[in-house]
Structure formats: C-alpha cells, structure tokens
C-alpha cells in the first residue's frame, strides 16, 4: 500500500500531466484546415469591394460653420472740402444719428482773377484817355459746408480743433458702429455647395438669444482677411448694446478676420442683443429635396453640378458613369440624371477606400493564424 501511494500514484499523476502537456502543445502547433489557410491570405480589400445601391430618399442640405460675432469697424467722418474747421456741432462720445451734422468747414469761394495792370481807355471829356485799374486785392468771399454722419453710432475723438486747416478727404473723427456681424471661415471646397449663395443664415449662440436669422449674407474670398486698424481710435459701443442696424449702410471695411482665405459674414438685425467676440454657429440652409435618387457621398467623384459614379455593368465590372448632382447633406447626395433606382454602385470612388482594420485583412482570424 505504501508502495502504491509513494511510487505508483505520483508516477500516474506525472504521466497524466505529461500527456496533457503534449496534447496542448500539439493543438497549438497544429495548423488549421485548408479553409482557414485561405483566410490567412491578405487581400487588401476586406470581404471584396464594398457595394452600395441607388435609393430613393429625402435630403435636407445644411452647412454648419463655427463663427464669431464682431462689431463693425468705426466709420471715418471725412472733410468734404478744403478749408478751416469753423464749428463743431457734436461732442466726443455723443450718440449721433445718420445724417446729423457733425462739424462745419469754412472755405473760400472761387473769385474772378484780379488784373492789377488791366486797363481800359475812356473819354475824359477833353479827348484825353483815362486809365481804369481793377483793385489788386479783392476781399475774399467764404462759404460754409456741414459734414454729416455717414452712419449712426457713437462719435470718437476729433483729430483737429476749431480753427485748424483740413484738406478734402481727411478723417477728422470717426463713428464707432453699433451694428454687428457674424463671421465664419469656410473651406473653399464647400463653396461649390454655396453657389448660388443664399441671402440669409441662421445664427445659434450657446446660452445667448433665441436662434435668429442673420441677413445680407456675403462671401469674401482671397487675400489676407485681417483688416488693419484705422488711424483714428475706435472705442467699442457700450457693453451689451443692442445691434442698431435699422437699415443703416454697411461700414466701409469688413470686420477683422484671422488668417486668409474665404469667409462668410452677415449682419445681425436690429433688436438682437449680442456682444463683440461671442462664439456663434452659422447654419446655412441650401434647400430640401424629397423623393429623389440618392447615393453615398463617398461614391461620387467631383463637385458642383457634375460628377462620376462607378456602376456595375453586365459583366460585373465597375464602370465610370457621368451623373448630374443636386443637394447633399454631407452623407448622401442627390443624383438628378445618370442613374436608376436599385442600381449597384461602388460605395467608394476607386482609390479612396478606407484602410481595412488588421482583423479584416485576415478574414477575422487573429494575426497568429492559429487557434485550434
């Protein structure tokens, strides 16, 4: 009995463990069957080429851009003629309305040229000629011109005083605007979707007023979009001041913009309370199409009205097919001409397929390719 416990039993356990170890080793080292081996061969295209179908659907096309609220730059109040500042009607820091007189210029009227040597012969009564001479220095004649506010706003500091001489076109003061714009940079590729450009956009300000329509939407392209500071100071309107658009003409310069490229901006309507520098989202609706043919945006090559889609022919080969495009929501795009509902197409333009994941390369089997 002691021999069994001390010799036979331990030897039995040892043999069992050895058999288990050998079995596990064989399972690990044994290659898979032929089907699994085929799955281990990388194809570069997981499961073959991805297909999509032409379907009927609705498209609500909207472009959303991140932007900023900017107060319009100060508008200079320039001298309308050469002369001398004769009178100042409005003091610095005062609120002025469009068309109100700001200051007055006195200027000299044009006078006939004096002729000190010019003479005319006249009969003096005894036959002698009498010389008549015009005055050499006639008294100057003056006129007065009022310079009015080109826009409504708050008057800046004057650069001259009463009695100073000014020349036509000199900025004597400036009016800090009470109008605001929302400005947003736009990728040039998106300009295809914005042609023609709508006139309004929706503005959303987080924790701000209710979403509102921003009017007079405009596009500025190219060049350095940063606007240099004017020579005259331009204080900001009082904090929290409401936009005072009210039909006033636009300021001479566009609001400051960082960098260069394409930019959209629109005017905040009167009565909307905004602040300079607020972050805002600009949403531009391009329209809605219902019950139209649609394909994935990834399947289309080209921008604007024309493009190409790869359609399977009778032999099962993808063939480039010209199409006429419509609206796009970023995921789907409308196809107006060139395709029929139900046609099978490539989901991606050839050469633009996303890179496959590692497990897809090997048909879903681990990289080691072994697993019993």
Task: Please give the Cα distance from 46 to 359 (Å, whole number).
Answer: 9
DSSP H or E stretch at residue 107: strand 101-108
DSSP β-ladder status, 75-78 and 171-177: antiparallel
pLDDT in tens, 14-70: 787 778 877 787 776 765 454 544 444 443 344 456 899 999 999 998 999 999 999
Phi, psi of 109 (to 5 degrees): -70, 155
Q: Is 166 among the domain residues?
A: yes
Rounded percentage of the chain residues whose pLDDT exceeds 70? 70
Residue 163 CB coordination number (10 Å): 9
pLDDT in tens, 136-167: 667 789 999 999 999 888 999 999 999 999 99
pLDDT of amino acid 260: 56
Closest CA to 284 of 202, 219, 215: 202
Task: Please give the Cα distance from 198 to 307 (Å, whole number).
Answer: 23
Tell me the residue range of the domain where 12 lies: 2-30
Q: Is 352 among the domain residues?
A: no
Task: Specify whether the CB–CB gap between 217 and 266 falls below 8 A.
Answer: yes
- Would you say residue 237 has pLDDT above 50? no
Indicate the average pLDDT of the chain: 78
Residues 185 and 141 both lie in one domain: no
pLDDT in tens, 253-263: 334 444 457 99
Threshold 0.85, pTM exceeds: no
CATH code, 164: 2.40.50.100
DSSP H or E stretch at residue 34: helix 34-39
Cα of first residue to Cα of last residue in the chain, in angstroms, is 42
Q: Three-class SS of residue 63? A: strand
Task: Specify whether the CB–CB gap between 182 and 208 falls below 8 A.
Answer: no
Res. 316 pLDDT band, cuts 50 70 90: confident
Any idea what the Cα angle at residue 85 is, between residues 80 and 86, rounded to 5°?
Answer: 115
Of 285, 306, 338, which marks where a domain is finished? 285
How many separate domains does the chain show?
Answer: 3
pLDDT in tens, 80-130: 999 999 999 999 999 999 999 999 999 998 755 555 444 444 555 555 555
Closest CA to 48 of 365, 316, 333: 316
Residues 68 and 187 both lie in one domain: yes
């Amino acid at each position: 009995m002691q021999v069994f416990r001390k010799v036979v039993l331990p030897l039995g356990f040892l043999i069992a463990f050895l058999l288990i170890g050998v079995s596990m080793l064989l399972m690990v080292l044994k290659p898979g069957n032929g089907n699994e081996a085929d799955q281990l061969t990388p194809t570069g295209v997981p499961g073959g080429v991805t297909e999509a179908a032409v379907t009927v659907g609705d498209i609500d096309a909207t472009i959303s851009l991140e932007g900023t609220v900017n107060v319009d730059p100060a508008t200079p109040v320039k001298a309308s003629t050469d002369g001398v500042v004769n009178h100042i009607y409005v003091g610095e820091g005062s609120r002025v309305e469009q068309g109100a007189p700001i200051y007055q210029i006195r200027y000299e009227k044009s006078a006939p040229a004096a002729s000190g040597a010019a003479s005319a012969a006249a009969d003096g009564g005894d036959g002698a000629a009498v010389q008549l001479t015009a005055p050499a220095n006639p008294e100057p004649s003056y006129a007065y011109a009022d310079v009015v506010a080109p826009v409504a706003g708050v008057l800046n500091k004057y650069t001259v005083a009463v009695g100073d001489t000014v020349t036509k076109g000199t900025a004597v003061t400036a009016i800090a605007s009470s109008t605001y714009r929302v400005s947003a940079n736009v990728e040039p590729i998106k300009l295809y979707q914005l042609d023609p450009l709508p006139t309004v956009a929706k503005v959303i300000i987080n924790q701000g007023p209710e979403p509102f329509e921003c009017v007079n939407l405009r596009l500025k392209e190219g060049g350095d979009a940063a606007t240099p500071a004017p020579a005259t100071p331009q204080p900001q309107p009082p904090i929290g001041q409401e936009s005072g658009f009210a039909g006033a003409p636009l300021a001479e310069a566009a609001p400051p913009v960082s960098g260069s490229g394409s930019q959209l901006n629109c005017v905040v309507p009167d009565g909307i309370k905004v602040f300079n520098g607020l972050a805002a989202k600009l949403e531009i609706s391009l329209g809605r199409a219902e019950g139209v043919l649609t394909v994935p945006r990834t399947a289309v090559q080209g921008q604007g009205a024309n493009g190409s889609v790869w359609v399977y022919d009778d032999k099962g080969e993808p063939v480039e097919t010209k199409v006429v495009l419509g609206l796009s929501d970023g995921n789907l795009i409308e196809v107006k001409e060139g395709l029929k509902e139900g046609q099978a197409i490539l989901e991606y333009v050839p050469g633009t397929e996303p890179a496959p994941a590692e497990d897809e390369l090997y048909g879903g089997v681990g990289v080691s390719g072994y697993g019993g």
